[in-house]
Amino acid sequence: MDHAPVLAILGQVQSKLLNTDFFQEVDTHVLFDDVAVYNKIIMDPQSLPRIMDEAIRTAIAKKGVAVLTIPDDIPDHMIKDNFTPNVDNFQMENYKIDDNQIKQALEMIKIHSNPIVLAGVGIKHAKKEMKAFIEKYKIPIILTMPAKGLVDDDHPYNLGQLGKLGTKPAFEMMQKADLVIMIGTDYPYAPYLNKKVDAIQIDTNADRLGKRRHVNIAIQADAKEALTRLNELGESVSNRPYLDEAISKIGQWRSWMQDVYSKKHQGVLPSLMFHNLSQSAPSDTIWSIDVGTSTAFGARFLTAKASQDYTISAWLGTMGCALPGAIAAKKAFPDRPVYAVAGDGATAMVMQDFATAVKYDLPMLYIVLNNKLLAFIEYEQQSAGQQNYGISLPKIDFAKVAEACGGIGERITTDEEFKAAIEKYRNP
């Protein structure tokens, strides 16, 4: 659901024992068929190289999990090494830009006084083009949660996120907009999208165009190429009162956020913790944020940069994603600092992977928000008018868990201790 290209190789009982209810036999094909973009069982050893190559290309093209089940006897066979893989020269579909559509979009932007951009992770490779677009046409921007930081969080045109974990200015300016420009996003929370006004949508996937709301102009194109043409063919806008209002509102919001974490308090205040973490993090940090109150505090108080990367389980929303995400990030980018933040509930689900990080020598800064509570579940129960149930957690000293796994652990109880700790471990 989080659209990560993955090759999953599964074991299976020997092929001659399939369908006999043998010890440890599981029908993996049925088990994974609903979630996999590619799902095959290898029955002929000679077919393995071809199917493996096909699986990898499908995972990349469809941005999903390709599953290969290999019975236990298949690796015992010798096969000819004469297969030429196609993965190296595999290319994603190239979408031809229609300049007539680009000109129509520019004309629509020109005749509307209150345009707003809602951009998703589809602009990840088009950060410069996106920034140039909003600055040229004087348009405020809202970023979806997985796209957080693709335009600097503190950019004056950036209104933050939209929805329950979003900002008040993002909601208000979306309601005041007369044109919504959706770029590289399949934003699912349709009630927030102001369906009463005109819309432009740019996406590589044709099935997403007009999926969440009616659009006047639907452009099937890569975000980088489309934004490049939009920037090349249009005339700059010198003034837009709607943008001025947006800048004023987000400025007031940020001042209010500062007031929130500046009040006197005891212990470690999560809002201030995220602020201090943002200020100390190197410019090329990779953020891995867990699901729960870590998400909520991170959305509002973590100031992410376009030079950084931000990852979260945005679609499945699965707790326990921060630690494995940090491990993957460090493995993929060993020279970049990796910061992860998770709650105690999420950490308890995957804390054995501390040992994995230590085993493979993957230094990272992992922060546990320990309040002995499934706090976001508490909020959801209260919102539903339910009594709180099953949300308390035992007191666990996760610093000792880290040490027991061979890592370094520190228990932090004050803001001053936290500042000292992040300075000490700033670039793990």
Q: What is the pLDDT of residues 89-138, one digit of tens each?
A: 666 667 788 999 999 999 999 999 999 999 999 999 999 999 999 999 99
Could you tell me the domains of the chain? 6-76 (3.40.50.970), 99-249 (3.40.50.1220), 264-424 (3.40.50.970)
* Amino acid at the residue 208: R
User: pLDDT at position 90, please?
Assistant: 65
In terms of DSSP H, where are the helices of 198-262? 223-233, 241-262
* 148 contacts 299 by C-beta, under 8 angstroms: yes
Q: Are 29 and 56 in contact (CB under 8 A)?
A: no
202 by DSSP, 3-state: which?
strand
Q: Is the pLDDT of residue 182 over 90?
A: yes
Q: What is the mean pLDDT of residues 29-40?
A: 94
CB atoms within 10 A of CB 378: 17
Torsion of CA 218, 222, 227, 230, to 10 degrees: -50
Segment 123-176, tens digit of pLDDT = 999 999 999 999 999 999 999 999 999 999 999 999 999 998 999 999 999 999
